[in-house]
Amino acid sequence: MPETLQQKLDLVQQRIHHACARANRNPGEVRLLAVTKIFPAEIIREAWAIGLREFGENYVQEMENKAAAVADLAGARFHLIGHLQSNKTKKASQFFQTIDSVDSVKLARRLDAEGIPLDITVEVKLSHEESKTGADAAGLVDIVEAVRTSQNLRLKGLMTVPPWSEDVELSRPYFAKLRELAARHAIQELSMGMSHDLEVAIEEGATWVRVGTALFGKRKKP
């Protein structure tokens, strides 16, 4: 079993490389977003020290609490991957460089109005789960338009989280659908795949995989 963060990172990178080899893709096209939610700022520092630079956090308040402790990490970028309420856009735009969970026109407009340049990924919900957030395929059209015509937002990608299943093959149709939607809107980045299903996501075109558990271990409940 891998013990250190370096060993776990090596394993995740091997998995990415193998999946790319199977899919005839260049591993340079697949970036790793290290998901540090629930873990202390110290973990982010440790991950930065072994070369990780892109971090995913789910909660604005948690990022605010960690921000001072990671402010000196050169080149570190923070992605908000959890749902954002439209009354928290000011703090979100202060503490994150990229908001990967934009799911409404209203939210896009509020982020734009904060006047700070931000990268944007639109979260798309392709399942029917009540508990999940995300735009539907129809709503996506309007959000894309709102972001593309904004002053401060740059549209980068689409993100989706399929229903969780032991059987990673069940994620595949969701990933394929996200790829189709991105192609239809000429969007480059695809954020899809997590610890358990990153291989399938890479086979379906992921350019970002969001990995928490496989790097940092099991999270305690927030």
What number of chain residues touch ligand PLP (CB under 6 A)? 13
Give the separation between CA 213 and CA 222, rounded to whole angstroms: 14
Closest to ligand PLP by CB, 48 vs 55, is 55
Give the separation between CA 25 and CA 37, rounded to whole angstroms: 29
- Residue from 125, 133, 204, 219 nearest 168 by CA: 204
Give the separation between CA 134 and CA 173, rounded to whole angstroms: 17
Closest to ligand PLP by CB, 53 vs 148, is 53
- The pair of three-digit structure tokens given for residue 126, joined into one six-digit string: 């392709």
In the list 12, 35, 144, 190, the residue contacting ligand PLP (rule: CB under 6 A) is 35
In the list 161, 187, 190, 200, the residue contacting ligand PLP (rule: CB under 6 A) is 161
Q: What are phi and psi of 40, to 5 degrees?
A: -75, 165
Closest to ligand PLP by CB, 61 vs 149, is 61
Residue appearing with tokens 């239809």? 184
Which span sits near ligand PLP by CB under 6 A: 60-68, 131-139, 174-182, 212-220? 212-220
Closest to ligand PLP by CB, 86 vs 213, is 213
**Residue 79 binds ligand PLP, judged by CB under 6 A:** no
**Residue 37 binds ligand PLP, judged by CB under 6 A:** yes
Give the separation between CA 22 and CA 198, rounded to whole angstroms: 13
Residues 52-71 that bind ligand PLP (CB under 6 A): 58
Give the separation between CA 218 and CA 173, rounded to whole angstroms: 27
How near is the Cβ of 212 to ligand PLP at its closest, in Å? Answer: 3
What's 219's DSSP letter?
P
How near is the Cβ of 210 to ligand PLP at its closest, in Å? Answer: 4
DSSP characters over 103-155: --HHHHHHHHHTT--EEEEEEB--S--TT---B-HHHHHHHHHHHHT-SSEEE
How near is the Cβ of 149 to ligand PLP at its closest, in Å? Answer: 27
In the list 20, 194, 200, 201, the residue contacting ligand PLP (rule: CB under 6 A) is 194
**Residue 212 binds ligand PLP, judged by CB under 6 A:** yes
**Residue 195 binds ligand PLP, judged by CB under 6 A:** yes
Binding site residues, ligand PLP, CB under 6 A = 35, 37, 58, 81-82, 161, 194-195, 210-214
